[in-house]
Amino acid sequence: MSLQSHFVTDRRRFGLSIDALVDRAAAAARLGVATIQIRERDLSDRDLLGLVRRIRREVGAPPPAVLVNDRADVAMAAAAAGVHLRGDSVAAARVRAAAPAGFVIGRSVHSLTEVDAAAAEAACDYLMFGTVFPSAGKAAGHPVAGAAALREACRRSPMPIIAIGGVDESRLAVLDASGAAGFAGVGMFM
């Protein structure tokens, strides 16, 4: 099994300070995560920029790659490895046109239709598909795609698929068998 791991931050959900979040990112880097996706939506531009720069310093040279959730401007200003776009965000091709060489662009997708649209745009480096399994980070009754949809997303996508939602160690073999390139988690790293 050679799944890449992506740590998605969410300090508010866990009641953490910025300092504690930076500590968690450094610990995840020491454990070998491939990517740290900074998803701290409540921070001002200045505070988010400072956090990204601080995490980059703490984790050292890649790996892991540090990505900023939905803020390509902050990612570029902080010299982060790239950006992770929400499903309803700006077109990845627009970001690609403004980004420096080697800038990583990922996108959240929640259906096979969205997988197909992202594949047609051909501007992302990876897609994050989910919610795959019921997740503590989502409200009760939140729709889940399931392992069969993940397997189909992996089959259809020319880009690597990262699974998110309800991922824990007991589900890693299922993700690997589906063809996923990796998994993303919040709770398992926080």
pLDDT value for 134: 80
Alpha-carbon gap, residue 187 to 164, rounded angstroms:
11
- The band of 62, judged by pLDDT with boundaries at 50, 70 and 90, is confident
Please state whether the peptide bond connecting residue 131 to the residue before it is cis, i.e. omega within 30 degrees of 0. Answer: yes
Q: What is the CATH number of the domain that holds 91?
A: 3.20.20.70
Beta bridge partners of 127: 107, 161
Q: What percent of the chain has a predicted confidence (pLDDT) above 70?
A: 98
Q: d(Cα 66, Cα 68) in Å, to the nearest integer?
A: 7
> In the prediction, which pLDDT does 63 show?
79
pLDDT value, residue 111:
96
52, part of any domain: yes
Q: pTM (2 decimals)? A: 0.94
Domain span including residue 148: 4-185
Domain assignment present for 29: yes
pLDDT at residue 49 tops 90: yes
| Residue 78: pLDDT band with limits 50, 70, 90 | very high
Is the confidence at residue 1, as pLDDT, over 70? no
**Residue tagged 């610990």 (tokens):** 27
Domain count, the chain: 1
Residues 165-188, mean pLDDT to the nearest whole number? 93
Any domain includes 61: yes
Residue 117 belongs to a domain: yes
Average pLDDT over residues 5-19: 96
Q: Is the pLDDT of residue 141 over 80?
A: no
44: buried, middle or exposed (CB in 10 Å: 19+, 13-18, 0-12)?
Answer: exposed
Tens digits of residue pLDDT in 112-127: 999 999 999 999 999 9
Mean pLDDT, residues 79-83 taken together: 97
Say if residues 112 and 149 touch (Cβ distance below 8 Å).
Answer: yes
What residues form DSSP beta bridges with 67? 37, 82
The verdict on residue 89 lying in a domain is yes
Buried b (16+ CB within 10 A) or exposed e, 133-153: bebebeeeeeebbebebbbbb
